[in-house]
Amino acid sequence: MIPVSVVTGFLGAGKTTLLRRVLSDPAWADSAVVVNEFGEVALDHELLAASEEVLVNVSTGCLCCLVRTDLGTTLMDLARRRAAGEVPAYRRVLVETSGLADPAPILHALMTEAAVAETHRLHSVVTLVDAVLGPVVLERHPEARWQVMLADRVLVTKPDLGDAAAAERAVQALQPGLDVRAAERGAAEPAWLFAPGEPAVPQEAVARHSEGVGSILIEREAPVAALALTLWMQALAEHAGAKLLRLKGLAALAEEPARPMVVHAVQHLVHPPEWLAEWPGGERRTRIVLIGQGIPRHFPARLLAAIEAEVATA
Ligand SMILES: Nc1nc2c(ncn2[C@@H]2O[C@H](COP(=O)(O)OP(=O)(O)OP(=O)(O)O)[C@@H](O)[C@H]2O)c(=O)[nH]1
């Protein structure tokens, strides 16, 4: 039986950061990782793959809605390749769900779908709650509440930026007595994170979602001036505020087009950019995904064009 652990948590809570850290530990590098993202392009896959030699499978779309076909097929296909020696003999599977996933149908499928349940065992569910936005997110988004209610343990992330104790109280209000710890940038003990849990079999096979959430893709062939990009992200975070659930992507800067800058924002919080050593797949193109609730479709691209024009004339 192959143990499967589910890593969940709302958009931008720090799931990819945690997995990168876990996979850099030699004792945990023999894990297969299945990443699911919401949005039109998959970036986590590139961020993870760019940093580590791991198995990554991606499906864009919502795993909890595609779960019958996608997750089951992915796990069975991986297991077949493992048995055939086509991929390393991984010892466990870590599933990173999309931030918008209701974990109930995912857990339901893992535990009840015959072929999967015969070869895989649901081992544990760890949910990430961000210390900055966690309490508000838990109040506003049903997916985030289900993620906590179905967790075996919760890791509070970004304690360096927010009130970890308040986030823990919000978590305990949903599941009193839950094992909660805080760690910065995924620096939690993997043996604790992935200790065996007692996942409940949820009744729900159908996902429950926040209303009106959609993704917008910004693509650019020409590099963008660093100042324009920074001003655009700040303006979006300030003006779209809570409607901007997530922004992330790879940007080609006019000042340094040879390597991609990784940009991240979560609601009003703009994280400092990071750099990748090279463009994944060699494609030097800015690709930024916004996940929003009620953001007009053309607003982000028009705002960027207006700021670029302003910066060019300054
Ligand atoms: N200061 C600080 N930043 C963090 C911490 N954990 C994650 N981040 C930053 O938060 C941003 C989002 O982190 P990700 O790991 O991409 O979050 P995610 O949950 O995988 O995001 P989605 O897949 O879009 O839901 C990145 O800029 C990270 O560097 C932390 O503990 N402290």
CATH number of the domain to which 281 belongs: 3.30.1220.10
Do 182 and 240 lie in one domain? The reply is no
Please tell me the distance between residue 17's alpha carbon and the centre of ligand 1 in angstroms. Answer: 6
Do 44 and 185 lie in one domain? The reply is yes
CATH number of the domain to which 74 belongs: 3.40.50.300
Question: Is 40 contained in some domain?
Answer: yes
pLDDT at 185: 97
pTM for the model stands at 0.87
pLDDT at 51: 41
Question: Is 152 contained in some domain?
Answer: yes
Rounded Cα distance between 46 and 50, Å, is 6
Rounded Cα distance between 90 and 96, Å, is 16
Question: Is 202 contained in some domain?
Answer: no
Question: Is 206 contained in some domain?
Answer: no
pLDDT at 89: 85
Do 143 and 268 lie in one domain? The reply is no
Question: Is 114 contained in some domain?
Answer: yes
Do 158 and 20 lie in one domain? The reply is yes
Is pLDDT above 50 for 314?
A: yes
**Does 123 contact ligand 1 (Cβ within 6 A)?**
no
Angle at 146 between CA 155 and CA 108, to 5 degrees: 105
Question: Is 204 contained in some domain?
Answer: no
Do 28 and 153 lie in one domain? The reply is yes
- The closest residue, in CA terms, to atom 2 on ligand 1 is 158
Please tell me the distance between residue 183's alpha carbon and the centre of ligand 1 in angstroms. Answer: 12
* 44-81 residue pLDDT tens: 656 655 444 345 554 545 554 554 457 788 888 888 88
Question: Is 14 contained in some domain?
Answer: yes
Q: What is the dihedral of CA 166, 167, 171, 174, to 10 degrees?
A: 60
Q: What is the largest CA-CA distance in the chain?
A: 64
**Does 129 contact ligand 1 (Cβ within 6 A)?**
no
Angle at 185 between CA 243 and CA 291, to 5 degrees: 20
* 128-147 residue pLDDT tens: 999 999 999 999 999 899 99
Do 87 and 154 lie in one domain? The reply is yes
**Does 273 contact ligand 1 (Cβ within 6 A)?**
no
What is the number of domains present in the chain?
2
* 2-53 residue pLDDT tens: 999 999 999 999 999 999 899 888 898 888 888 876 655 556 656 655 444 3
Rounded Cα distance between 210 and 143, Å, is 7
102: tokens are: 């209701």
- The closest residue, in CA terms, to atom 12 on ligand 1 is 12
256: tokens are: 């340094």
Domain that holds residue 24: 2-193
Q: Annotate 221-290 with DSSP letters as a single string.
A: SS-B-HHHHHHHHHHHHHHHGGGEEEEEEEEEETTEEEEEEEEEEETTEEEEEEE-SS-GGG---EEEEE
